[in-house]
Structure 1
Amino acid sequence: MHSPQQRAIALIQNYYATFNAGDRAAFLTLLTEDVAHDINQGGTESGIAAFRTFLTRMDRCYREQVCDLVVFANTDGTRGAAEFFIEGEYLSADAGLPPATGQRYRLRVGAFFDLHDERVSRVTNYYNLEDWLRQVGA
């Protein structure tokens, strides 16, 4: 039997595997109904519907893959963290950001998780927005 820590690590790895596969339906099943999503340098959105809307916008504006993923979790499996690189292409202008012309970028990202009943109940993402702006030529 796997420990709570091992199950937490597997959940976070699956979160990113389904993201990379583009399987949004499977991705959303990994979240609690009231999931809190802390957006990098932005606000907090709550619930699966808000997360689905966020993913729809992201898929329209960006093509991204998570690379070089490293996952950590506490021993009781209630909290986790991930560090990775996001490799992407800026496809369509996102509100308040520069025009998109297919610019490619690679960013180091940190993410922090609360986990409940083997689902993600909170995810907080951090990356260097200034670095992204520099890479897309803003």
Structure 2
Amino acid sequence: MTALELVKEYYTCFNQKNWNGMLALLDPEVRHEPNQGDARVGVEKFTEFMKTMDTSYEETLTDMVFLSEPTDTRVAVEFVVNGVYKKAEEGLPEAHNQPYVLPAAAFLEVKAGKISRVTTYYNLPLWIKLVSA
């Protein structure tokens, strides 16, 4: 499977809420670099992050554009997050099922047939404005 195919499968699993399928595509020492905060290393920490996300947000990604490069090790993905803010997280606005639509992007690295890095970017001030309106 190419890096591009692997990353497409990862996001298919995301949209299907197939968390085990997503996790199976990750290297055991995956590095997750979130938009805000410290990087997480390892599938266990990524699993904890996914549980928090599943509790606080209901998200589907649309308008996905995948870009790969010749060495077949990195893939960039641009997408729109269509979400509902279900449960507040510390330091963020109160949650009461506010819908939001937010552009975002991710950069993924693949080594030995597994995703070894996931870096995500989005406009946090815009998201706060959308869920605070």
Q: TM class by shorter-chain length?
A: over 0.9
Tell me the SS of whatever aligns to 1:82. Answer: strand
Distance 2:120 2:15 in 1: 16
Residue matched to 2:40: 45
Residue matched to 2:114: 119
Distance 2:62 2:90 in 1: 26
User: Runs of at least 4 residues of structure 1 off by over 6 A?
Assistant: none
Which sections of structure 1, spanning at least 5 residues, go unmatched?
none
Residue matched to 2:12: 17
CA deviation vs aligned residue, 1:69-100 (integer Å, no higher than 9, x gap): 11111112111110000100000111211110
Percent identity, please: 38
Distance 1:11 1:109 in 2: 19
Asked if residue 32 in structure 1 is aligned to residue 13 in structure 2, the reply is no
Asked if residue 59 in structure 1 is aligned to residue 54 in structure 2, the reply is yes
CA deviation vs aligned residue, 1:79-138 (integer Å, no higher than 9, x gap): 111000010000011121111010000111110111111211001000000110000016
Letter in 2 for 1:59: D
**What is the TM-score with the length of structure 1 in the denominator?**
0.93
Asked if residue 78 in structure 1 is aligned to residue 73 in structure 2, the reply is yes
Which sections of structure 2, spanning at least 5 residues, go unmatched?
none
What is the RMSD of the two structures over their aligned residues, measured on CA atoms? 1.1
**What is the TM-score with the length of structure 2 in the denominator?**
0.96
Tell me the SS of whatever aligns to 2:11. Answer: helix
Residue matched to 1:8: 3
Q: How many equivalent pairs are there?
A: 133
Letter in 1 for 2:102: L
Tell me the SS of whatever aligns to 1:100. Answer: coil
